[in-house]
Amino acid sequence: MNPRLAAVRVLAQVLDQGRSLAEALPQVQRELPERDRALVQELCYGVLRRRDLLQAVLEQLLSKPLRAREREVQLLLLVGLHQILHMRTPPHAAVSATVEVTRVLGKKWAAGLANAVLRRALRERESLLAAVPAAARLSHPDWLQDALRDAWPKEAEGLMEANNLHPPMSLRVNTQRQSRDEYRRELDEAGIAAAPGPHAEEALLLEKPRGVESLPGFAEGRVSVQDQAAQLAAALLDVPAGARVLDACAAPGGKTCHLLERQPELAELVAVELDPLRMPRIQENLARLELHAKLVEGDAARPADWWDGRPFERILLDAPCSATGVIRRHPDIKWLRRADDIPRLAALQEKLLEALWPLLAEGGRLLYATCSVLPVENSEQIQRFLTRHPEARCEPLPGSWGREQACGRQILSGDEGMDGFYYACLSKRG
């Protein structure tokens, strides 16, 4: 399949059928030769990051809107414009390859249109971009722009701009095998530039993203890929030797593995996951790192179905959320999420907190985490919980990262290169 046509097919599934990029993209990539897969990924991610901006440019270049039945032509033109405006594709290649796809689609009439639109975009690039309205330039749906401005009036525009950028690649060094400095020297010898993460003890930040197969020791479990913000969880939970630990919403298992790497002398780590299709990812991660946890397929909101009655000294609740802190890694989130998802998710988070709190031992700690930047899922959620539970105490968080909240701390997307995350640590009074 032509890679640009493949990108059109993926975009149609995401934008018109509501499929996630994680579902649609790999399925199409499997039909492509290895050499084309990265290009298709870049085209899909790029168009989803800047959909509204590209659409606003396209509308300037069309004398009249395309009919709804010409959706594939419209998506193809967005793909072509993304190459011209944001990629280093040679101009003649971007134009000719796009025109060629109109013929593959059986739309010979569109060949002249594509040629004219893209050539004019090349000539008038700066003036076309200058005429794009500010809201379209940010390329976020209206409801999300409003929610971010309500929550973070001073930071909202910078936050949305950060959401439209390529994220950096962060590694987590398995310090059971070697120190961070030792692995950094190994990367240096391999010609891979990396710097220590300032906030997570095991984090290395790569200067340039690369495939995991080129990382020394990846297959042997000496290193994993995980954003620095996500790596904070294991340190914040501060698990002592001999503790019984619950990871309540465990897939894909990155935090489960990190907890075991940092504290190998646990009494037990129980990893609970509701989705049976995500369980193999936890097993794969544990196997690659040669770690062991007790895996339970179950609903964390219904512990009566799987809990044995023995309390946990530590609980990690990485709660299902809007994922508004990781849009730069998953740009389809912007277009798939709806405003009415947020109260539904907040209700689920509350249900999980109430269900898991009785499982925590007296004197134990529960770390609440989300990859959301919306207060209703984060600081406001925890404030409501503290009001209902006088036996719960908000613990101060160590470190200098993020923004202090009434309880916990919030990282906004792009803060010091990190994903957007919220953390709050609750202890139970005896």
Q: What is the pLDDT of residues 344-403, one digit of tens each?
A: 999 999 999 999 999 999 999 999 999 999 999 999 999 999 999 999 999 999 999 999
Q: What six digits make up the tokens of 8?
A: 């059109």
Q: Which amino acid is at 233?
A: A
pTM summary value: 0.94
- Answer yes or no: 371 catalytic: yes
For residue 356, list its beta bridge partners: none
Catalytic residue among 371, 394, 407, 425: 371
DSSP of 237-286: H-PPTT-EEEESS-TT-HHHHHHHHH----SEEEEEES-GGGHHHHHHHH
Q: What is the pLDDT of residues 27-84, one digit of tens each?
A: 999 999 989 999 999 999 999 999 999 999 999 999 999 999 999 999 999 999 999 9
Q: What is the pLDDT of residues 174-227, one digit of tens each?
A: 999 999 999 999 999 999 999 999 999 999 999 999 999 999 999 999 999 999
Check pLDDT > 80 for residue 430.
Answer: no
- The count of residues in the chain is 430
pLDDT given for residue 277 in this prediction: 92
Q: Would you give the DSSP letter of residue 208?
A: S
